[in-house]
Amino acid sequence: MTENGKALTEINESLKEYLQKGFNVPGSIIFTKIVDFMQPSIRVVTIDTNLKQNEIYPINGGKYGFGRPAIQKFVDAGRIELKLPPDAIRVEKGKGVARYTAKVIGERYELDGSPKRLEDAKPYDLIIREEEMMMKYEEKVEKEHPKWSEKQKMDWVTKCVKKIMIEKHKFAAESAITGAQARVVQKLLGLKPAYTLEELKKPFVVVAVTPVVDMKDPDIKKMVTAHMLGIRETLYPHAMGMPSYHPCVTETIGVSDIGPESDQVDETIPISGESAASNIISFRTAAEDFDDYPRNVKENILRKLITDSAAADNLVNMKDEELVDLFMRLKAA
């Protein structure tokens, strides 16, 4: 049996065993092919069901969605790269409208080696959020303070909701992006949008693959490093990157969806991915692993980022920790 045949058998047997144990195994459960240049791996993701850890949040019907910490676990396990496109955020504000819509792109390799690219969007409607908060606190005050006067109840509800909505307005763009990221990750890995608490207590099994290349070849090493750091266009502005595919899913909220523009919407503001990313804590990327790469690879990357030739020539005299510090400063600039 070939190495690929052994790997295929091991993966299928492992998935069968995980299913028998009651684990969550999203996506395909039987694989028939592994290409020569791909290395498969199985990772187990456990979700903390303590709501204080913010890995899950309640949804109607006794089900729960994934919060940012849980999404990050799936991103790492599934070897997913998330990106913000140029038109990442759209803001709609006006009479009766306060909505942020975020768009996110996700990429990963399928088990057969083909790159998969998916784009999705998520609206975050502040008007609806405020209505939900009002209903929640109106029920709460009736239950906890039934003897209060109607004015006392309304004042308390208004104060509580106002405090919460200030935070929701402040982080509306981030919330929309997190929602879009969750949609992309769920679809790339075959996850359901919501699970019961009992389902979430069972670990999730994620299969991922990474390219296996000859890292002894200097050119190949540069290309792989550049891809992992997310700066292919910086190093190779004319090189062919991952093939471009039409988005599988696209959801945007247009003016026609919420009523006549003259009556409903006073302002629609597109925010570029660069502008949005400057104020948003994104998922971790391989850039944080810059220090793990060979000295010559570090220098080659920095030479492409530095415009001052004298400074580029001085790289050979710098210590490794100085190279890492310089790289992080250049990326943050």
Q: Which residue has the tokens 């790469």?
A: 293
Residue with structure tokens 């570029």? 272
Residue-level pLDDT at 213:
65
Residue (of 86, 170, 96) closest to 127 by Cα position: 96
- In the block, which residue shows the tokens 């948003």? 280
pLDDT tens track for 137-146: 999 999 999 9
Q: How does DSSP classify residue 148? A: S
- Among 15-24, 34-43, 184-193, the range scoring the smallest mean pLDDT is 34-43
Round to whole Å and give the CA distance between 153 and 158: 9
Lowest mean pLDDT, pick from 3-7, 23-27, 87-91, 316-320: 3-7
Q: What is the pLDDT of residue 164?
A: 94
What mean pLDDT is predicted for residues 149-169?
A: 95
Number of other CB atoms surrounding residue 295 within 10 Å: 11
Check residues 57 and 310 and name the one with the higher pLDDT.
57
Identify the bridge partners of residue 269 per DSSP, sorted by sequence position: 91
Give me the pLDDT at residue 247, please. Answer: 30
Structural domain spans, the chain: 3-284
Rounded percentage of the chain residues whose pLDDT exceeds 90: 40
DSSP bridge partners of 65 = 57
pLDDT of residue 201: 94
What does the mean pLDDT of the chain come to? 77
Distance CA(255)–CA(6), nearest Å, equals 54
Count the neighbouring beta carbons within 10 Å of the beta carbon of residue 95: 9
| C-alpha span between 325 and 291 (Å, rounded) | 10
Backbone angles phi, psi at 222, to 5 degrees: -65, -45
Whole-angstrom CA distances from 22 to 73, 81, 202, 206, 223 are: 20, 29, 7, 14, 41
Q: What is the model's pTM?
A: 0.64
pLDDT at site 113: 75
Report pLDDT digits (tens) over 272-309.
Answer: 554 554 444 344 334 445 665 567 667 777 777 777 77
Statement: residue 40 has pLDDT above 50: yes
pLDDT for res 135: 94
Lowest-confidence segment of 202-206, 249-253, 293-297, 317-321 by average pLDDT: 249-253
Q: Tens of pLDDT along 228-266?
A: 555 544 444 443 333 332 333 333 333 223 233 333 444
pLDDT of 70 > 90? The answer is yes
Residue 65, both tokens: 């969605």
- Whole-angstrom distance, CA of residue 223 vs CA of residue 157: 57
Cβ count within 10 A of residue 279:
11
